[in-house]
Structure 1
Amino acid sequence: DGFSVSPLFEGWDTLRADECAALDLAEGSEGWAREVYLRGHGEAWVFARSVASRAALQGDGLHMDELGSRSLGELLFCDQAFQRRAIEVCHYPEQWLPPAVQAPELWGRRSRFDRGALSVLVAEIFLPSLWDVARAHPENC
């Protein structure tokens, strides 16, 4: 209850160098990028960015362009063919965040999901509003 996805950006884009490296792509490769807020009770708790290469998406059957307000995680975790690689944790660069939530040293995690030739890189950045709720309701953590 109270969970929703608010798309911010979806489209073809030149992937960042770190994303290309994580997906084993040549630097400057083009891919589908999707940026959303994951909301709890209407409040943005997580900023998420998901990317996949154009070449891998064409003909694969995963239609990231049709997700709208549906959760990509729902697709990735329901399709048992996807294998999740290791989770990486770091401070997410402030300049990569939407202006409305830019803050220094926000923690984020990302992992790569593989299904055959398709790899999807998913990054989730935990916004201050999530930590505020966690502090206010430690019994739910």
Structure 2
Amino acid sequence: MPHTTPQAATAAWLTQLPPATAPALLDWLFDQGSLTRRLTALSAQHFSVTPLNEGWQPLRADECQALGLAPGAEGWVREVYLRGHGQPWVFARSVAARAALERGGFDLETLGSRSLGELLFSDDAFIRHPLQVCRYPSAWLPAEARHEGLWARRSRFERDGLSLLVAEIFMPALWQAAAKEAR
């Protein structure tokens, strides 16, 4: 069942964190590679994508700003869990403007349980813009995943006038799995 994302919540998206930030956190948040590939490796190939919600809806103010759109612009929203060993490790929200999708010939509607990240990283025409990070507002998460202070990252991928904004919110189970692997 789709959840609505309150417009009132805000996030301060940053391009860097203080030098005293834990190296493991920085490694995950600012890794330039494919998160899908990294999660697949961490899960020893027990990785899956669970679609939660997708469809046309008004984009949040921060998303409109990041994509250079007028406030309240409509776009395609896709929300999924990226799972390792069946546990939700990452909540991902990807958005794109309606006009850009219709022009760009990129069909997000048919992804199903396939990873958008894998698709983006396998197409050399996509340019990835700098990563931004924040503490993600819990009001923007699905009710069953609401936790205060979760770290998130996002970046914009661009190809031939099509911009996709991909946000990845790191759930507590991921940090447990990453800590276990580090031991």
Aligned position for 2:123: 79
Structure with greater strand share of residues:
1
Matched letter for residue 68 of structure 1: G
Residue ranges of structure 2 left out of the alignment (5+ in a row):
1-44
Aligned equivalents of 1:97, 1:86: Cα separation in 2: 23
- For this pair of structures, how many residues does the alignment match? 139
1-side partners of 2:126 and 2:180: how far apart?
35
After the TM superposition, which segments of 4 or more aligned residues of structure 1 sit over 3 Å from their partners?
none
RMSD: 0.8
Report the CA distance between 1:133 and its aligned residue. 1.3
Distance, in Å, in 2 between the alignment partners of 1:87 and 1:125 is 13
Give the structure 2 partner of residue 67 of structure 1: 111
SS of the equivalent of 1:6 reads: strand
Q: Which amino acid aligns with 1:127?
A: M
**In the alignment, residue 90 of structure 1 is paired with which amino acid?**
C
Deviation at 1:83, TM superposition (A): 0.3
Render the CA deviation track for 1:44-97: whole Å, top value 9, x for unaligned: 000000000000000422110000000001111111110000000110000000
Q: Of the candidates 44, 54, 59, which is equivalent to residue 98 of structure 2?
A: 54
**Which of 102, 124, 145 does residue 101 from structure 1 map onto?**
145
Shift of residue 136 of structure 1? 2.2
Which residue identity does 1:29 align to in structure 2? A
Contact 2:90 2:169 survives alignment (8 Å): yes
Unpaired runs of 5+ residues, structure 1, are none
Is it true that 1:114 corresponds to 2:158 in the alignment?
A: yes
